[in-house]
């Protein structure tokens, strides 16, 4: 209860800060997490050395600092989601080549958008307002129900529907029968809890387990899959580019789509390495942290 109170208070304080002053929160949260709390600093350092083994100490330190600014922006963006209306928020979000997704929807197809913990990935929930179709955010509900409700209630995306990842197939089947083309958002780079139901693919030269949910659902329901590459343009302004990695009809071998997702995600991370969630133990199945 206390955690939810402080989370709500932080959301209000950040959310109602004028856009041009948000950089104060960026540096405040950066200072707290990096210099005072040293939040998961050893995990961040370990991951950077695993992903970029041949870089210099100066490079690691540079990306490490960039990461903690990204982490601060992530917290700020989540707070903004729940306090800023869609019209105001869309002033700072751009979506390139989104017509490719609209084309699939106009053809009566459901669409899957595969996300990594890259840059402002939480902003994608506003697609329900941009595309004007049902958008489902597939996620694992949080154990803290107060924080979970806080994340679900997004003022800038009131029409986004959050669904338990365990019921994703049932929802896709339902909307397919209804004939209402919809978009399903899935964050697909978490470290799986078990070794069952996963695909082992190459990710930064490391044999890495990925959930096979996107591939399973895409091939079962013939859904095109787009990867969302989210670019940081300037403070709290982002552009998303969508890359088609599966057209919904191609016959593919097992784990092909998963490997394609890993490849485009890796490429995007290499282009802006400071904007990835290096604090999560991505390779805990294969190394000790």
pLDDT tens across 36-49, in order? 999 999 999 999 99
Provide the pLDDT confidence category of residue 82 given band limits of 50, 70 and 90.
confident
Q: Is the pLDDT of residue 1 over 70?
A: no
Element (H, E) at 8: helix 2-15
pLDDT tens across 23-32, in order? 999 999 999 9
Q: Does 285 reside within a domain?
A: no
Q: Does 195 reside within a domain?
A: yes
Provide the pLDDT confidence category of residue 67 given band limits of 50, 70 and 90.
very high
Provide the pLDDT confidence category of residue 10 given band limits of 50, 70 and 90.
confident
pLDDT tens across 193-210, in order? 888 889 999 999 999 999
Query: Cα dihedral sign for 48, 50, 52, 58?
Result: positive
Mean of per-residue pLDDT scores for the chain: 93
Domain total for the chain?
1
Helix, strand, coil % over all residues of the chain, rounded to 5: 50, 20, 30
pLDDT at 144: 67
In contact, 250 and 3? CB cutoff 8 Å: no
Q: Does 125 reside within a domain?
A: yes
pLDDT at 239: 98
Q: Is the pLDDT of residue 145 over 70?
A: yes
Q: Is the pLDDT of residue 147 over 70?
A: no
Provide the pLDDT confidence category of residue 52 given band limits of 50, 70 and 90.
very high
pLDDT at 2: 60
Q: Does 282 reside within a domain?
A: no
Q: Does 288 reside within a domain?
A: no
Domain range for 214 is: 2-275
pLDDT tens across 221-260, in order? 999 999 999 999 999 999 999 999 999 999 999 999 999 9
pLDDT at 12: 85
Provide the pLDDT confidence category of residue 64 given band limits of 50, 70 and 90.
very high
Q: What percent of the chain has pLDDT over 90?
A: 78
Q: Does 79 reside within a domain?
A: yes
Residue in this structure with the two tokens 């784990």, named with its chain if needed:
255
Q: Is the pLDDT of residue 150 over 70?
A: no
pLDDT at 47: 98
Q: Cβ neighbours of residue 244 under 8 Å, at least 6 residues apart?
A: 100, 224, 225, 226
- Residue 61: how many CA atoms within 13 Å on its side-chain side? 3
Q: Does 284 reside within a domain?
A: no
Cα 26 from chain centre:
19
SS3 63: helix
pLDDT at 270: 98
C-alpha span between 26 and 289 (Å, rounded): 28
Q: Does 27 reside within a domain?
A: yes
- The stretch 126-145 carries a mean pLDDT of 88
Q: What percent of the chain has pLDDT over 70?
A: 96
């Amino acid at each position: 209860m206390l955690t939810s109170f402080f989370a709500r208070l932080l959301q209000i304080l950040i959310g109602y800060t004028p856009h041009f002053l948000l950089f104060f929160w960026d540096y405040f949260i950066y200072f707290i997490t990096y210099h005072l709390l040293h939040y998961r600093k050893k995990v961040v350092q370990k991951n950077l050395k695993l992903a970029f083994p041949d870089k210099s100490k100066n490079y690691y330190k540079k990306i490490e600092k960039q990461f903690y600014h990204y982490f601060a922006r992530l917290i700020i963006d989540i707070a903004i989601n729940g306090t800023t209306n869609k019209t105001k928020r869309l002033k700072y979000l751009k979506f390139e080549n989104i017509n490719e997704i609209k084309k699939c929807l106009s053809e009566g197809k459901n669409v899957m958008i595969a996300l990594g913990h890259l840059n402002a990935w939480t902003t994608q929930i506003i697609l329900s307002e941009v595309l004007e179709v049902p958008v489902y955010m597939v996620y694992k509900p949080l154990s803290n129900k107060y924080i979970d409700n806080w994340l679900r209630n997004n003022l800038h995306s009131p029409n986004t529907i959050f669904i338990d990842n365990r019921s994703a197939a049932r929802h896709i089947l339902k909307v397919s029968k209804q004939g209402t083309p919809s978009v399903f958002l899935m964050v697909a780079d978490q470290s799986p809890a078990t070794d069952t139901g996963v695909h082992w693919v190459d990710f930064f030269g490391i044999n890495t387990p990925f959930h096979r949910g996107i591939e399973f659902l895409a091939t079962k329901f013939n859904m095109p899959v787009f990867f969302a590459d989210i670019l940081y343009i300037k403070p709290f302004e982002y552009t998303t580019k969508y890359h088609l990695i599966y057209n919904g009809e191609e016959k593919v071998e097992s784990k092909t789509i998963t490997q394609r997702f890993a490849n485009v995600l890796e490429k995007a991370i290499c282009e802006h390495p400071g904007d990835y969630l290096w604090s999560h133990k991505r390779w805990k199945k294969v190394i000790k942290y």
